[in-house]
Amino acid sequence: MLTWGGRGVPARPPRAGTLRRVQLAAGLAALLTLTGAPARAADPGGSCPPEQTDCDVWDDDPGTPGGPGGPGGGDNGGGGNGGGAPKCQWNGRVIPCYNETLGWFNNADGCYYKLAEPQNEAPPGKQWYQLTCNGGDTSPGSMRQELLDAPPPGYGAPPDPEELARRALASISLLPPRASVAPRRSQGPGLVGLPVWMWASPGEAYFGPLSAAASDRGLTVRITAKVDRIVWHMSDDIDVTCHGPGTPYRADGPRAGLTSPDCGLDAGYPKADTYQVSATTFWTVEWSGGGESGVIAQSRSSGVIPVQINELQVVTR
């Protein structure tokens, strides 16, 4: 597979045909004026269901989203609730495993435990605990003190910081990129050897940074999510990596007929065909809390955009 830089610079020397592309440059501006994407993107295909703000809509021809998408999804470590928080139950209902007032819950007897304050006299190695039983019922009959030589099961168990980080990640939406290209099939075909522009919708939901936090049992973990790179899959053997959303092509702009300033396939396609283009954003989610830190990798993929490339017909006299 060919791996290309952010401006479509190939990892190996360009093939023969560079001279031919220079000779055809005079027709490039007129061609992209006909086939380039307009300054304002077309209305996206599809719409979000009621009550849902995190869904996939695409410019150009709607395609089937590839790979992960939506909140908490994604590969490379996944998102979502990531293993789930510890669960405590009483009489068939889920209750908090830790309560700031009552202490830690013991599933074995249905009581919350916390150290009694003040401590009454006790033999060496033993401590008085305040118990609130029946799933946290604070009526007088459910509260008592006991003298214990060791904490009960579940007492003082700290939450997993990474699990809290994934819980914070599940509270935000990392949207898949809304991809656009020029030339685009809806405006006409492109030509072999001429530049291709790629760009995606900018904004925090698409590229970050986004921040969130989650707390449990006195521990707070904070995350920051941002896109490290966007990889454009141009064909079976051409990928282009960019480090930003790119610049929208304007047929009447100052760079009409030129290469993209920051995200394009400068050398164009090597042969005529219909190519299936898609984009994937790679997110880095950094988290810290409880004296620990780490990174959760995520990715989001766009739908597929067909790009038709034709041979340039040269007329001689």
pTM above 0.85, yes or no: no
pLDDT of residue 108: 85
Place of tokens 């007129």: 30
In terms of Cα–Cα distance, which of 243, 240, 73 is closest to 170?
A: 73
Q: What is the CA radius of gyration of the chain?
A: 29
Give the domain-ending residue among 148, 171, 196. Answer: 148
Give per-residue pLDDT as tens, 273-305: 999 999 999 999 999 998 899 999 999 999 999
Check whether residue 177 and residue 164 sit in a common domain.
Answer: yes
- The angle at the Cα of 204, spanning 202 to 206, to the nearest 5 degrees, equals 55
Same domain as 267, residue 174 = yes
Q: Indicate whether 74 and 174 sit together in one domain.
A: yes
> How far is the C-alpha of 36 from the C-alpha of 111, rounded, in Å?
68
Q: What is the pLDDT of residue 314?
A: 59
Both 35 and 106 in one domain: the answer is no
Q: Does residue 29 sit in the same domain as residue 175?
A: yes
Could you tell me if residue 154 is inside a domain? no
Task: Assign residue 194 a region (left: φ > 0; alpha: ψ between -120 and 50; beta: otherwise).
Answer: beta
Q: How far is CA 90 from the centre of its chain?
A: 37
**Shared domain check, 165 and 64:** yes
**Residue 317 included in any domain:** no
Q: Is the pLDDT assigned to residue 111 strictly greater than 80?
A: yes
110 within some domain? yes
**What is d(CA 229, CA 211) in angstroms, rounded to the nearest whole number?**
18
- Count CB-CB contacts under 10 A for residue 88: 21
108 and 201 both lie in a single domain: no
Note down the domain range covering 166. 2-42+54-83+160-310
Q: Which helix (H) or strand (E) holds 162?
A: helix 161-169
231-266 pLDDT, tens digit per residue, is: 999 999 999 999 999 999 988 888 877 899 999 999
- For residue range 60-76, what is the model confidence (pLDDT) as tens digits? 333 333 333 333 334 33
Domain's final residue, options 107, 128, 148? 148
